[in-house]
């Protein structure tokens, strides 16, 4: 049977382990971003902004403005072209 003090110490240890793990994850993500080409990072940021805008509009009014849809389409193609996603990957795998 553990005492309240022991449980608290165990919770503190788990919290510290979680903080260390989160710091490592953040560092890996930062290092990954630094390895991207400027146009790749720009495409990701454009997509993030477009998705954020769309999600907020849907949450607030259960609707999307045409301008937001246009931003989503633009971000989609920017991401797809910048990272060479989509059909190109499928064709390469088939060859």
Q: Where are the domains of the chain?
A: 1-35, 37-95
CA 44 to chain centre: 9
Give the burial string for 52-85 (b: 16+ CB within 10 Å, else e).
ebbeebeeeeeeeeeebeebbeebbebbeebbee
Mean pLDDT of 61-70: 92
Q: What is the pLDDT of residues 13-56, one digit of tens each?
A: 999 999 999 999 999 989 988 899 999 999 999 999 999 999 99
pLDDT at 94: 54
pLDDT at 27: 94
Name the token pair of 28. 């890996």
pLDDT band at 83 (very low <50, low <70, confident <90, very high): confident
Sign of CA dihedral 75, 29, 87, 84: positive
- Average pLDDT over the chain reads 88
Which residues 6+ apart lie within 8 Å of 40 measured at CB? 82, 83
């Amino acid at each position: 049977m553990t005492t309240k003090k022991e449980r608290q110490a165990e919770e503190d240890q788990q919290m510290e382990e979680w903080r260390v793990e989160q710091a490592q994850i953040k560092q890996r993500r930062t290092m990954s971003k630094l390895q991207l080409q400027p146009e790749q990072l720009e495409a990701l940021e454009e997509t993030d902004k477009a998705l954020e805008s769309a999600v907020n509009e849907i949450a607030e009014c259960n609707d999307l403005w045409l301008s937001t849809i246009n931003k989503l389409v633009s971000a989609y193609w920017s991401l797809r072209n910048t990272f060479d996603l989509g059909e190109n990957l499928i064709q390469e795998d088939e060859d």
